[in-house]
Structure formats: C-alpha cells, structure tokens
Structure 1
Amino acid sequence: MSPRPKALFAMREEHLALLFPAPLLRRLDTLADIDVTLVAERFDDPRLNLADTEILITGWGCPPLDEAVLAAAPRLRAVLHAAGSVKGLVAPVCWERGLLVSSAAAANAVPVAEYTVGTILLAGKGVFALGERYRRERGFTLAKIEPLVGNNGRRVGIVGASQIGRRVIELLAPYDLDLCLYDPYTRVPGVRRASLEEVLRRSDIVSLHAPATPETRHMLDRTRLALMPDGAVLINTARGSLVDTDALVAELKSGRLSAILDVTEPEPLPPGSPLFDLPNAFLTPHIAGSHGNEVARMGTLVLDELERLTAGQPLTHRVTADDLDRVA
C-alpha cells in the first residue's frame, strides 16, 4: 500500500456528517487519498473508481460486498466498517479473497451498555412500574415506603458476554448488585457463571446481550420465560429474535413480568401490537445504539484502525469469518 492509500466511502450519504464531522475529515485527509464529497450508496454508480480503491470505509446502508464488487475492485485490501455488525455486508468471497475487515462494534457497544445500565438501575428502583401507577392514579402517599424496590443486592442476570455484555458488567461493578452470567463460550472474572435456566430462575432483572443466530432464535420461549420469578424484568437491547414475542406478550398480559424493549420481532412493531398498550412494557425505538453525538465515536474508531493499517500494524477490531457465529 502507498503511504496514503486510495479510499472510498460506501454508506448512506446522510450518515457521513455524523460519522465524520469536520475534525475527523481533516484527520482522514492525512491518512488516505479520499474524495470526501463522494459517497457510494450503490456500487454501480458511474462516478466510482473501484479499480483503484484499496480501502472501503463502510457504514449503515452499504450494499453487500459480493463477487461482482470484488471483481471490480482488484486492489481492495481492507473494509473498515463504521457501524456494528458486518454479517449483512461481507459475503463469503471477501474471506476467500483475504480482505482485512474491521468493525466499530466496540464503539457502538458504549451507548448500548449505558442505556442498559440506566434501565437496570431504574427497573431495580421500580421507576417504570411506580411511574405508571402515579400517572394512572394521579397521586401518591408521601413517606410511604415501597417494600419491593431498591438495588441493594438486586439479582441481575446477564445473557451473553458480548462486547456489550462485558461493558455492562464493567459499568455495574460499583453498584451493590448480585450479578450472574450465562455465556457458553466466555467467562468474566469475578462474575458467577450459570446455565441459562439458572440465570432466569434466580434473577430479578435479566438483560439480553446474545447474538442473533439460528441457535439463539427464541432462546427465551414460553418455557424459559415461565422460569423467571414473579415481578422480574426482562431487558432486550440485543435482537428481537431472541424472544418469542407471543410468549412474552402472554406473560406481560398476566402481569407476572415486565419488559424494557429497545428491539422487537418484528421491527418496527405493527401498529396493532398489544405491546403498545401494556403498561408493563416499556418500548423505545431502537435507540440504545449510537445516535446523535455518539455516532462520531464510530468514525474515530475507524480512523484509529486506518492509522494502524497505514503504519503496517495489526487492526485492533478485526473481524474474521470464525467470529460471525458469536457476534451480533
């Protein structure tokens, strides 16, 4: 590679300014030969010069990198993805070609973990249920102690020691919580590991951080949801497919469980979904990941990776074909 390799943006153009604000574009100009006014939303755009492109800086909305794209880009060596998952982006031919692939999933994990920790603490304090009761009753009794709320010793189960799951555990360390973890591959020092069934049985709050794979589809089905204790809260910031929606709706309608859902199946929910009307279902529109000023964190990570690449150093956030079964 030349000292300033030829690079190309491939993503939705609307995201470029948030991912790479002016200071990051100035830094990028020192690292690569790139036209910052050209953003490929499709690879048959006649303005593109794929034949000379050595590095693709991709993001949300980038078309799949299939055989035709790679044939048109014989000098392509690396794909630096300024977003999370590369599953829908990188075709098998990319691995066969030996492309270096990097993902900004670690940067995107930060706001997801922050959202999760916030909702865990608020759920343990009873904020969602008591706030709904206050709204409904239009009043409350001063100095009345709520006996079932509080985070002192609250039992929290983490399902999946992903980058997000590990970050959640790290951020929860200062609090007086009783944590346990289910992950078939990974141990986290200082956190008790347990089976999925045990995590569900013993936890007041369960937070999902597993990838979407055929094996994890509906991992929380009717039988497993029934294991959760009365009054427990399920938090899902991972993928909607991890939970059997019909089974969860049945549990919520019974009033036995509550849920905080940033992701659902399907997504978005149809307007007639009962989840919109259940007072013990707190829904947010897939906002846990990077939004607003958080998006530039992923652009910064990509530029850090580009700097390593041009210096001949290994990528810190490299993704390999073997990783795909264990990441989101």
Structure 2
Amino acid sequence: MPTTPRLPPAALLMYPGLEALVLSAGTRGRLGAVVDLATPVPFATPAEVPAEVEVLVTGWGCPVLGAQALAALPVLRLVAHAAGTVRSLVSDALWDRGIVVTSAASANAVPVAEFTFAAIIMITKDVFAVRDRHRDVRGCEAVVDQSRMGSRGRRIGLVGASTIGRLVIERLRSLDVEVVVADPYLTTTEATELGVALVDLDELLATSDVVSLHAPLLASTRHMIGADQLAAMRDGAWLLNTARGGLVDTDAITAELVSGRLNAFVDTPHPEPLPSGSPLYDLPNVVLTPHIAGAMGSEVSRMGDLAVTEVERFVAGLPPLHPITRDAMDRIA
C-alpha cells in the first residue's frame, strides 16, 4: 500500500491577523498541499514556533531571526518572506546557517510602479494645482493653465533601474515622454534594451521635469538628494519619492518646497511620519501620502501568492525564483 509522502513542517510568522490579507483561500490551500502547517496561524514570535519547523513563511511583523531564535529552530531550511525587504529579519546567524531566504519584493514592486505611473500622469496634468484652484473659485473662473498641462515631450528622470524602476519604465512606454535613468549598475546596452537614455545623476536632475526615486537606502545612498542636488533641479520640477525617505535630506527639501521653487510628491518621508508641525502637510506644492504606494488591501495577497510559489518550488527541489543572499544586501532595498 503506497505511503503518504511526508510534508515538511511549516509555520507562519507575522503580525496576527495579517495572514488573512497575505493568503487567499486558494493560496492557503496550495500551501497546505505541500507543507504540514503548524497552528496557531500565524505565530507572533520565533519562540512560539515548534522546533521541528523546516519552512517559515514570514511577513510584516516578523522579528529578527538571530542566533537565539535560530537555536530553537535547528532544522529550519527556508524562510519565504511574503513582503518586500528582508532587512528587518535577516542576520549573520541566518546566513551562516545556509538557510534559503526568498523575498516577495517583486510582487510588492507592482503596486509601487502603478502608483508612480499614476502620480506622473497626475503631475503632468497639473491635477493637484487644478484641484486646489477649482475648489477656491467654486467653478466661477477658468483654472486650467495650458502651459503646465500635458505629458507629451516631458522628460522623466528615474533614479535607479531597480525592479520597481523597470516596471515604471515599462508603463511609461505608453506615454510620449523621454525617459532618462541614472544608475551606476546599469550598462549602456541594458539602457538601450530598456528604451531609455543612461545619464549621470547631475544631468538627470538638471534636465528632468519629474525626478522619481527608485534607489535602495544604503549607507552610500543616504541623502543622495541633498541641497546641492535639489538646487540643480529645474524651477517648477517635481521630486517624486516612493522609495525611502532617507534618500533625501529632509531639511534641504523642506527649504526648497517652502520657497515654492520645486514641487514634491512624497509617499515615504523621513522621519515617517513627519512631525505634526512640518510645513509639508500644508504647502500647496506638496502632495504627502502616508506610505501607501506599496501593497495595500487586496494587493497584499500578490506577495502571499509569490511566497507560496517559493515554498512549492523548494519542496519540489527546484531553485527559488527570488533568492536573497548575504552578498546582495549591500545593493538591494
């Protein structure tokens, strides 16, 4: 009589309640078909996870998996992160153990790219200023400034040809715009294949109508957009940040925005959130949103789908689609 194949023990480790967003019913069923999922679902801390667990599906709220946590998980072989960056959970102990780590950053990249593309459309249509003027005059005067309207012929500068940056490039192909990219890791050949012009950061800042940030926050990129870089931007240009607030010097951008010379759409300020007294909340040339570009609501399950795909591949003996290695941590978000 054939025996039932052994399923590797697994557990979810994330904020309690998040699992309902991360795993649709169908995805939960897929996971249950390839692993023996421990209960409760999810666990809130590594100390609660059974020692026999070989597979962890993690998400927002997963604490660092350091030496102490890993000592209690002696047979752990895979961490499939159902979210973007793994920086908050990886450790030297995790890498030293040779545990496979995967990320759903590519799934989280989709809504960020969509948000960025939508923001660029709104910016080049002057939607935010038109909205404010229309509200002020209550329909009694014309509020459209034709000189500020339209995307055609605009130069869009992307800082970083990251996963998100490339998805934005793909979406911008539907517009009649010129796209330039500054990225030290992008080759001229790759830029040509993407249909963009590769330029240095100084040229991008000085010539772009919209500058959109898609670089990771590293020691080398912190405050890469400071007073000098902002001063180089065109009068009336927009800075769009859906990446990390630390890429921009907050004091420097605040000074420029208060002066009215530049405009900004900031989804990821620094600090996050900004202090309640920050002038950026009230300036007419600033659109400030509370870090909503990434996966939210129904979009979160896309990351769960990818994490479970990684688990399925691992159990089947296939290589991961999106592995994260220690060496990659010095260049990824």
The TM-score normalised by the length of structure 2 is 0.94
Whether 1:24 and 2:24 are equivalent positions in the alignment is no
Query: 1:135 deviation in Å?
Result: 2.2
Q: Which amino acid is 1:155 matched to?
A: R
Q: Distance in 2 between matches of 1:264 and 1:87?
A: 19
* TM alignment of 1:128-139, pairs within 5 A: 128-139=128-139
How has the CA–CA distance of structure 1 residues 142 and 269 changed in structure 2, closer, same or farther, with 3 Å as cutoff? Answer: closer
Q: Which amino acid is 1:99 matched to?
A: I
Query: 1:35 deviation in Å?
Result: 2.7
Q: Is the 8 A contact 2:124 2:148 kept in 1?
A: no
How has the CA–CA distance of structure 1 residues 142 and 132 changed in structure 2, closer, same or farther, with 3 Å as cutoff? Answer: closer
Aligned equivalent of 1:12: 15
Whether 1:270 and 2:239 are equivalent positions in the alignment is no
Q: Is the 8 A contact 1:25 1:36 kept in 2?
A: no
Structure 1: 5+ residue stretches without partners? none
Whether 1:320 and 2:295 are equivalent positions in the alignment is no
Aligned equivalent of 1:165: 165
| Percentage identity across paired residues of the two chains | 50
* TM alignment of 1:163-312, pairs within 5 A: 163-187=163-187, 188=191, 189=193, 190-312=195-317
Larger CA deviation: 285-294 vs 132-141? 132-141
SS at match of 1:44: helix
SS at match of 2:18: helix
SS at match of 1:175: coil
Q: Is the 8 A contact 2:9 2:38 kept in 1?
A: no
Q: Is the 8 A contact 2:223 2:246 kept in 1?
A: yes
Query: 1:148 deviation in Å?
Result: 2.5
Q: Is the 8 A contact 2:46 2:65 kept in 1?
A: no
* TM alignment of 1:46-85, pairs within 5 A: 48-49=49-50, 51-85=51-85
Larger CA deviation: 136-145 vs 81-90? 136-145
* TM alignment of 1:149-164, pairs within 5 A: 149-164=149-164
Q: Distance in 2 between matches of 1:67 and 1:321?
A: 16
Q: Which amino acid is 1:14 matched to?
A: G
Q: Which amino acid is 2:69 matched to?
A: V
Q: Distance in 2 between matches of 1:35 and 1:227?
A: 56
Structure 2: 5+ residue stretches without partners? none
How has the CA–CA distance of structure 1 residues 81 and 143 changed in structure 2, closer, same or farther, with 3 Å as cutoff? Answer: closer
Query: 1:325 deviation in Å?
Result: 1.4
Whether 1:33 and 2:36 are equivalent positions in the alignment is yes
Deviations 1:169-204 (A, max 9, x none): 111112101000011112432211111111000100
Q: Which amino acid is 1:65 matched to?
A: L
SS at match of 1:52: coil
Q: Distance in 2 between matches of 1:168 and 1:144?
A: 27
CA RMSD across the alignment: 1.5
SS at match of 2:36: coil
Deviations 1:210-239 (A, max 9, x none): 101111111110110011101101100000
How has the CA–CA distance of structure 1 residues 205 and 282 changed in structure 2, closer, same or farther, with 3 Å as cutoff? Answer: same
Query: 1:24 deviation in Å?
Result: 1.4
The TM-score normalised by the length of structure 1 is 0.95
